[in-house]
Each structure stands twice: as structure tokens, then as C-alpha cells.
Chain A
Amino acid sequence: MGIMRILDETGDTVVKWSVDDPETLVEAERIFRSLSMERRMAFARPAGAPASETTLIKAFDAEAEEIVWVRAVVGG
């Protein structure tokens, strides 16, 4: 079971998938592609690991325990 956390106004929206459940897997991949097109950035990490153990990913990794989606950064 993997989860995606998408940062938003509610704190974060969670999307879960399971490698044994193709339906959830397809949906998670679709969301991943959609967010990638919005120029958001995805960081995978083992569940509960600190930021230093995260990895920037460009493609959906079904084996990832947790993916945190953040927004692109700009100068203020």
C-alpha cells in the first residue's frame, strides 16, 4: 500500500494505491501524470522518514511507500 500526499488548502489530500489493486494503481498513475503536468514536484520517502531521506522522482513509482507532492517555488 502506497500513499500520495498532495499539499493543498486542506493540509494535504491523500491518494492511496495498492500494487495488488490495478484500479487504484491506474488512478494513482493518472493523478501523478496530471500533477507532473502542473509542474509540481514529487518526493518519495520511506514512510515517516525525514526530508534528508527523500528522493525527487519524475515517474510514478508503485513501490514507493509515500510520495509527497509540493508546488514549484518562485521568488517573492
Chain B
Amino acid sequence: MKKLLAILVTTMLLVSVMAPLALAEDAGFVDGKFTETRTITVAHFDRDTEGWDVDNNVFIDFIKQSMLEQYNIDVEFVTTPRWTESDNLPTYLAAGTACDVSYTYSDGTIETYFKQDAVLDLAPLLEEYGEYLTDMVDFFGTNLTWKLDPVEGTIYAIPAVRIETSRINTFVRADWLDKLGMEAPTTTEEFEAMLIAFKDNAELLLGDDADMMVPFALTEDVSWRANNILVSCVADADMNDKTNYIYGYDSRQFLFPGVKEGARLLNKWYNEGLILEDFSLYKMGDSAVDNLIKAGFVGAFENNWDYPFTGGDESIYNMLTEQQGEDAKFIAIDPFQNDAGLTKKVLYSSNGIYIFFPSTNDEPLASLLYLNWMAKLENRMYLQFGEEGIDFEYNADGVRTIVTPDPGYYTRESSNNIDTTMIINGLDQGDATLNAQTKALSYAGVDSYYVELAWNMAMNNGISFANINLGSVEAEEGVSEVLETKRDETLNTAINASVEEFDAVWDAGMQEYLDAGGQAIIDERAEKYNAAYGE
């Protein structure tokens, strides 16, 4: 596979060097510009952002104007509601109305339609037009071949580049630690001791509300809300790309060897009364547990690396300050060490949303040029930052800080303009330090110290597993929902079990998971891996 990747990239680079020779071949495309205006349609999510209007927006106008001047391409944007896009997309594809440049997180949908010839194979296009796409090749790097089929050589989608790979953090109440005269825990044992101290000192910490004390908050979504704890029980030697390929079907590492011990630890804590008693009742989307955190009843929890800071005025950070006083703060900690004494945790991979062209796209070059145009740093920086003084400003230290303009022409459709700038997830100024500085200042009302700390903790000893693409795994088709349910059931029932019954409950749940298709996936993945790389 690596060979194929190398050939593709080399061909593109080689052809790009010979670009001037090839220019004359396309009569309609002279000196890097179409002689007649070409029109492409581009998909754009709509999140009902106040003030944002696709027909009256500075970023959209910038794209249209720039593309027309530079390439003589007329870009038309077609919006689709963010929250229903996965329902709408199959209809668009089947009916042939999908945009020339489309995107979705459901790569399974794209693959399904690709197999039915409703989605274009990008590999020959990248090869044919590589000479005009140098910015894109530089920017996307290995993401370009992320979905390269090792046998057929096809590419049905290109994932956007995810700049920020930080994923999950553990947060604790710093003011509670102070009140108890404790240091932030640096090991799992210290973390446990801290939870016990929270529980034992409920009256000191919560006064009349002592019975509301929740040392560690969890929800039904255990594999996410305790991911760093579970993963810390995976042997250091197993935190590698091979294990991730074979056992990583589930993006929550549920099948990784050792996760059972993480669940056992949670089961022990649960039985000691350190975990929210009825956590399994709180499903995804239920804000009850967040409300407990905001109300100041929770000592520690895990979630997205910046979770306490997001949500503006209603963020955990701001609500807690408002209700419990200035001192009430959650800080990120990184205590869960594995057998090698390292706080290994899983980071996001560098892939974001999947960009693809439906087969109804009859302007593939113009569509690729659009992506190439956006890949240029100055273009995507404008799309992310906007106008100085309106969408961003420089602070005293010369760091760009994001400003939210009044709803209207200058409104970003979403945080970082993630949809308008479809090729990138996360703010990028071409420099990691600048990015981190800006990031630290980008949460309304939040002291940058806490954000920087959270970022460092989330990235500390983090692993981004490599993308190993050995073709589609047939055993994975149609089982994702069942397996997801079984995963959550197993984790929840096992943690809720008594300490003595833990093994029996876990083993039974895992067996059901494997019987429901998990084993077939592991076997097929192992077989593919061994065939490609040997045992």
C-alpha cells in the first residue's frame, strides 16, 4: 500500500513540475484559468446561526469573488441543515442532486454510493490534474490517500485535515483540592484517594447539599466519559498501530486488551459510592449530569478536552463561577498511568469530515481547483479569521483573538467557520505556537491559563494512531448500531454489578458483543493486517 501511495504522490509532484508543458492540452483551461466561466455547486451546512445568511456573508462573497477572478469559476453554495444532513444526503445522491463538492461525516454512506457508481473515483482525477493542485497536495499530505483502496487504487473521499487532535481530559475541582489541602493527583491511586476524600468531606465541601455529593460523574456513555481511565489499563506495548487496526473497529477502544481492568476499577469505585449512583440512566444528550457539574455537586469528570469552557455564558466554567464564586474552577489533570508509568491517551487522528464528488459532477477540475484554492494558507486564514477589527483583533501581545461580530454580514456560520472552510478542522495560522496562543484566548470569559493547562494535559503522552487502509472490512457492514448498543450495555451492566459478579457480567456482555459480529470483525481485520504486514 505504501508503494502505491508513494507512486501517487510522486506522480503528482512530477506532473506538477511539468505543468507548463501540459497547459496547452486543455483548450478551455489556459494559463491556470478557464476561458469560459464554469459553475460548480458546493455544499454548506446550515446551523441556524443567528445572522448568518448564505446570500449575504463576507466569507461566501470572498470565495465567490476570488474563485471567479483567479480561475473564472462561479461557485454556488447550497445549504443543507446540519442536524439532518445524514438523512438528506442519501436522497441527494440517489436523486442526482448532490452538490459537485459535497461533504459528510458518514463515510459509510459515501462508500455505499461509490460502490453503486454514484460517487466519483478521485484517484484518476488527482493524477490527471495533479499539476494544478500543488497547494492541495501540500496541505492534505497523507490525508489525500486516506481512503486509497490498496487493491483497486480508488479514492472515494478525502478527509479534511484535523489540526487539533486533543481529545479527552480529566477535570477536578481545584477549589475542593485547596479546601482539603490536597495536591492535584498524579497517579491513579492518588486520584482514587482524592475521590474518597471528596466523599468523606461532603459536608465541608457542600454544606447543606452534602447528600448531593458526586465524587466522579459518569453517564451511560462510559466509553467516552471514562476513556482515559479505560485506556490507561491497556499495556503500553499494546498502544500501537497494529492493535489499533485489529481491535480498533470501535473508535472508543472498547476491544483493546486491558480495557476490562479499567472497567473493573470503575466497578470498584461505583461499589464504594464514588461514582454517580444512577449514571446509567443518563443517556447521550441528557443535560442532567452537566447540570450537576454546573451546580457544583461534582468533584471530577472526563469529557472533551475543552468541555468546561465551551458554551459561552452557559459553559460549566462560567456557570460555576456565577453560582459558586470565583474560586470554583475545574482544572485538567493527567493522573492515569499505564504499566510503563506513562499517561498514554488516545488523540484524534488527523482526519476530519469527508469531502467527495458525486458522479453527477461534470466539472471535476473546477471542483478540485476550489479545494486547491482553499488549501492556500492566506485563503483559509481569511475564511477562519475574517476581517481584522470585526471578526478578530490582535491583543497586547500580538496574538490574534477571535471576536464574535454582531449578527449579520460578518457572522461566522460556526466556530472557526468549520463549514465554510470545509478542508480544515481547527484554527490554523501555519504555526503551532500561534495556534495554541489563539486557542487559549478563544473561550468567552475563560482565563487562558485553564485552557492552556487543559491543552497540555490532553496532548501529554497522547497517541494519534496511523491510518492503515487495507480496504473495506465486510464484517463491519450493518452491525455498527448493534455493536454500539452491546458495548454500552456491557460497560454499564459490568460497572453496576457487585464486585464479585463483575467478571461474570463483563464476560457475558463481551461474549454477546463478539457473537453479534465483533469477533468476525477482529478476525477479518487480523487476517488483512497479517496478509499486508506479516504476523
A binds B: no
Q: Which residues of A are interface residues toward B (Cβ below 8 A)? A: none
